[in-house]
Amino acid sequence: GAVVSQHPSRVICKSGTSVKIECRSLDFQATTMFWYRQFPKKSLMLMATSNEGSKATYEQGVEKDKFLINHASLTLSTLTVTSAHPEDSSFYICSARPDRVNYGYTFGSGTRLTVV
Amino acid sequence: GNSVTQMEGPVTLSEEAFLTINCTYTATGYPSLFWYVQYPGEGLQLLLKATKADDKGSNKGFEATYRKETTSFHLEKGSVQVSDSAVYFCALIVTQGGSEKLVFGKGMKLTVNP
C-alpha cells in the first residue's frame, strides 16, 4: 500500500508555455503532499507543502506565481510551472504520507521537465 | 537548525565490496532517521528507518543504527551488488511551525562494477 503516482514522467515544452504535473495518492488519503525539485548532482530541494483545501506553503526563495500548487482533493495535488523557461528544466518529485500514525513518506517516480 | 550531513561521493566499488556511507545530523529533540535510495530515472524509495536511539534499521542487506551519542546514522552493507548502484540519501523528519518536513542530505551516488 501507500502508492503515489506522478504524471507525466517526462515532458518537453517550449519557453513561455505552462506545464502541469499531477501527483496522486492511489490507495490512501493525504491531507498534505510535498513538492521537491532535484538539481543535477544535488539534493532534493523542498519547494512547497501542498495542503488539501487551503493554500500551499512555499519555502523561502520559491516563486509562488511561477509554481502554482493546487490540492483540490485528498488524493490529488498538481504543480503548474507557468511561463516556463530553460532554467526551470529539472526533475520534480512529489511525496505524500498517509494520514496514519507511523507511516512513512512515499514518493512519486518524478517528472523530468525540459524547457526548450 | 536541523540538517543532515552525509558523504557526497561519487563512490565506485567493485561487486562484493564493503560499503559505508556516513551520515550525521543536527536536530532539536530526537528525530526519526531515514535512508532513501534513488535508482536511475526514478523517484525515491524508503530503504530503512529508525525512530529512536539504538534502533537498527535493515533492509536488502543494508543496515544503519541510530546513534544518539554521535548523532549519526551510518549506512552499511557487507557485500554490494551491481544492482545497488543508485543515489543514497540520508534524511530526518522535523516538525516546524506545526508541520512535518523531511530534511535530506545531499545524496551520494554509488556505482558498483562487476
Question: What 3-state class would DSSP assign to A86?
Answer: helix
A18-22, A97-101, B43-47: segment of lowest average pLDDT? A97-101
Q: What is the predicted pLDDT for the residue at A8? A: 97
Residue B99 in this model has a pLDDT that exceeds 60? yes
Q: What is the predicted pLDDT for the residue at B23? A: 97
Q: Which three cell numbers stand for residue A61?
A: 526563495
pLDDT per residue over A3-17, tens digit each?
899 999 999 999 999
Q: Which residues of A touch B34 (CB under 8 A)?
A: 104
Instruction: Answer whether A45's CB lies under 8 Å from A38's CB.
Output: yes
Residue B2 in this model has a pLDDT that exceeds 90? no
Instruction: Answer whether A67's CB lies under 8 Å from A78's CB.
Output: no
Chain B residues with CB within 8 Å of chain A CB: 34, 36, 41-46, 49, 51, 89, 99-102, 104-107, 109
Return d(Cα A16, Cα A94) in angstroms, integer: 23
Return d(Cα B3, Cα B104) in angstroms, integer: 8
Q: Which three cell numbers stand for residue A55?
A: 493554500
Arithmetic mean of pLDDT, A68-84:
94
Our CA-based measurement puts residue A112 at a distance from the nearest CA of chain B, in whole angstroms, of 9
pLDDT per residue over A40-62, tens digit each?
777 788 999 998 888 899 999 99
